[in-house]
């Protein structure tokens, strides 16, 4: 028996900092063995630490994002220039984060692929998400966009169908280019986006060396309530822009399929912080009959010669996440998360996204997702909301009467904030409610311009990629898609037609579906093995 005067060993302060506990804060003294009847079992129901550990493990994956599932992220800072081009930015917006030269705002950015799943290769042809959360003094602002400056569709009603067509077949669970091009061919407004996607711009070399765009049209509002239309663009600074051909992407994927996440993490870890300049295009808030497209149409580019890029600030990413799940996976963005001085346009797709994004986050992360540290604003939060799953603190002001969770009240409840400027009150139109597309769809002109503006090697890659994928489609689909290309540019359509005929005439290309070809190759190249 131990000497009564012998002191029991005491944990050092450093050891206490490293002590394993359960979620209740109880120290765990044995993390190797469950409690059993004898050392062979069975186990008993009172194994609290085991039950807590395994039940949490069973729930470690929140529902995967339907789109933008595969992602990487980083923290950083946005520094304002105080100007939009050569003019004071206050002429256009009263948003506080832009007003002072040198003013810094913390940010978190999540890059992503759009269509494919959480562990899909980062070399796949796909738009890339570029979502930025600004933790401003007026609360959060989310600028949610992509690397490409346009989109496939202009009406939110088509979005679920678009994603279904691009996602795996519901029967085979394999992405099928026939389904993909079936949607494109029957949605002529997508011709411009397809021209970008199947060019090298459809596979950025990594996340650091790609552009970003808000895609949709927004508004800026000044102190007098006057508004202008805005397009946002992130332009890489020192690191430049790089894209991959399909062959180069295949080579990268053959080595590893996480290259873009590794590239971003390692660059920041080395102190080579990527930087982007935030530029805006500004247009007066009206119909603009002089244009051959509607400025609210997200399938269109605003011509730079008429609406130049005006730099308004610079973003630097300088800190990697401490924990991927807590920060990159649980971060939640929404196009409706705007601060005073920023506003919505009438862009139908933007207004559809504004409901969808936040509704998705409530389903995916929970009703109180804004209380998570990665999503919580740095400014004070005081709401009259209460309850809901996983709510862990009340949103109350320091002097608020805790008995009053409603407004208005004379008993010490929350009060409305004073206005920072005049309300923006756009004049709406004396028109009928209707279900119609924009009256200047002009679905093909910019697709042709984009094709002609590409360099020779980009056009060659575009034609080869489209033809290779159309070869997997029924004639009715390829004919309809090429008819769309014909309206964009006759040379564009003819080159795809010729390349498609060449692929179909080559016996070595049978079967034409790449997934079937890969399955056949695996069977031919596989080595026999004896059972063990």
CATH architecture entry for 71-151+205-367: Beta Barrel (2.40)
Rounded distance, CA 346 to CA 339, Å?
Answer: 18
pLDDT computed for residue 1 by the predictor: 42
* Confidence bin at 413 (pLDDT 50/70/90): confident
Quote the crossing angle between the two packed helices 456-470 and 490-505, to the nearest 10°.
50
* Confidence bin at 12 (pLDDT 50/70/90): low
Q: From the annotation, which residues make up the binding site for heme?
A: 357
Rounded distance, CA 313 to CA 292, Å?
Answer: 31
**Residues designated catalytic:** 68, 146
Phi, psi of 518 (to 5 degrees): -65, -40
pLDDT computed for residue 241 by the predictor: 98
Phi, psi of 234 (to 5 degrees): -95, 125
pTM of the model: 0.91
- What DSSP assignment string belongs to 317-339? EEE--S-HIIIIIT----TT---
Q: pLDDT over 90 for what percent of the chain? A: 71
pLDDT tens digit string along 267-286?
999 999 999 999 999 999 99
pLDDT tens digit string along 352-387?
898 888 888 988 998 899 999 999 999 888 888 888
- What DSSP assignment string belongs to 163-216? HHHHSPPTTT-S--HHHHHHHHHT-GGGHHHHHHHTSGGGSBS-STT--EE--S
User: Above 80 in pLDDT, residue 13?
Assistant: no
* Confidence bin at 28 (pLDDT 50/70/90): confident
pLDDT computed for residue 196 by the predictor: 98
Q: For CA atoms 256, 261, 266, 272, give the dihedral sign.
A: positive
Q: For CA atoms 335, 114, 130, 492, give the dihedral sign.
A: negative
Q: 8: which DSSP letter?
A: P
Average pLDDT of the chain, as a whole number: 92
pLDDT tens digit string along 193-209?
999 999 999 999 999 99
Tokens of 301: 């580019």
pLDDT computed for residue 2 by the predictor: 43
pLDDT computed for residue 516 by the predictor: 84
Q: From the annotation, which residues make up the binding site?
A: 357
CB 293 within 8 A of CB 300: yes
Find the range with the poorest average confidence among 105-114, 396-405, 424-433, 448-457. Answer: 424-433
User: Above 80 in pLDDT, residue 14?
Assistant: no
Q: How far is CA 127 from the centre of its chain?
A: 9
pLDDT computed for residue 213 by the predictor: 98
pLDDT computed for residue 5 by the predictor: 46
* Confidence bin at 36 (pLDDT 50/70/90): confident
CA distances from 79 to 104, 246, 278 (A): 4, 36, 10
CB 113 within 8 A of CB 72: no
pLDDT tens digit string along 509-518?
887 788 888 8
Identify the three-state secondary structure at position 262. Answer: helix
User: Above 90 in pLDDT, residue 191?
Assistant: yes
CB 93 within 8 A of CB 343: no
Find the range with the poorest average confidence among 120-124, 319-323, 390-394, 441-445. Answer: 390-394
pLDDT tens digit string along 50-97?
887 887 778 877 889 989 999 999 999 999 999 998 999 999 999 999
Give the domain ranges of the chain: 71-151+205-367
């Amino acid at each position: 028996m131990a000497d009564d005067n012998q002191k029991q060993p005491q944990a050092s302060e450093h050891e206490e900092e490293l002590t394993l506990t359960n979620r209740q804060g109880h120290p765990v003294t044995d993390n190797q063995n469950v409690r059993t009847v004898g050392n062979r079992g069975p186990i008993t129901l009172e194994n609290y630490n085991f039950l807590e550990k395994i039940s949490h493990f069973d729930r470690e994956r929140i529902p995967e994002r339907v789109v933008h599932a595969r992602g990487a992220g980083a923290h950083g800072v946005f520094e304002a220039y105080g100007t939009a081009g050569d003019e004071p930015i206050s002429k256009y917006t009263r948003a506080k984060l832009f007003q002072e030269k040198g003013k810094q705002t913390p940010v978190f950015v999540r890059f992503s692929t759009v269509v494919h799943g959480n562990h899909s290769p980062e070399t796949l042809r796909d738009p890339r998400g570029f979502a930025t959360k600004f933790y401003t003094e007026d609360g959060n602002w989310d600028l949610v966009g992509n690397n490409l400056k346009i989109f496939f569709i202009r009406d939110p009603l088509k979005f679920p169908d678009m994603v279904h067509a691009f996602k795996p077949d519901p029967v085979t669970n394999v992405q099928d280019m026939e389904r993909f091009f079936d949607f494109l061919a029957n949605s002529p407004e997508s011709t411009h986006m397809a021209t970008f996607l199947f060019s090298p711009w459809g596979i950025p070399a990594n996340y650091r060396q790609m552009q970003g765009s808000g895609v949709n049209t927004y508004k800026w509002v000044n102190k007098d309530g006057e508004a202008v239309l805005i397009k946002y663009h992130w332009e890489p600074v020192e690191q430049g822009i790089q894209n991959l051909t399909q062959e180069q992407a295949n080579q990268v994927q053959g080595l590893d399929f996480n290259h873009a996440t590794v590239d971003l993490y390692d660059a920041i870890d080395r102190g080579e912080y990527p930087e982007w300049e935030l530029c805006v295009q500004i247009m007066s808030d009206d119909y603009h009959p002089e244009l051959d497209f509607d400025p609210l149409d997200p399938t269109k580019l605003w011509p730079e010669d008429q609406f130049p890029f005006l730099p308004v600030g610079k973003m630097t990413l300088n800190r990697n996440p401490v924990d991927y799940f807590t920060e990159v996976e649980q971060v939640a963005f929404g196009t409706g998360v705007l601060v005073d001085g920023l506003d919505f346009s009438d862009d139908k797709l933007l207004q559809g996204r504004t409901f969808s994004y936040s509704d998705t986050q409530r389903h995916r992360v929970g009703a109180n997702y804004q209380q998570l540290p990665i999503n919580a604003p740095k400014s004070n939060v005081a709401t009259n909301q209460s309850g809901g799953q996983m709510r862990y603190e009340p949103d109350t002001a320091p002097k608020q009467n805790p008995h009053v969770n409603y407004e208005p009240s004379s008993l010490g409840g929350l009060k409305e904030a004073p206005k920072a400027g005049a309300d923006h009150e756009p004049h709406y139109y004396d028109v009928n409610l209707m279900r119609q597309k924009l009256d200047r769809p002009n679905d093909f002109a910019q697709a042709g311009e984009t094709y002609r503006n590409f360099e020779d090697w980009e056009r060659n890659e575009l034609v080869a990629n489209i033809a290779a994928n159309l070869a997997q489609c029924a004639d009715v689909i390829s004919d309809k898609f090429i008819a769309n290309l014909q309206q964009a540019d006759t040379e564009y359509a003819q080159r795809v037609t010729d390349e498609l005929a060449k692929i179909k005439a080559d016996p070595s290309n049978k079967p034409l579906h790449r997934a079937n070809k890969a399955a056949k190759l695996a069977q031919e190249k596989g080595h026999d093995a004896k059972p063990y």
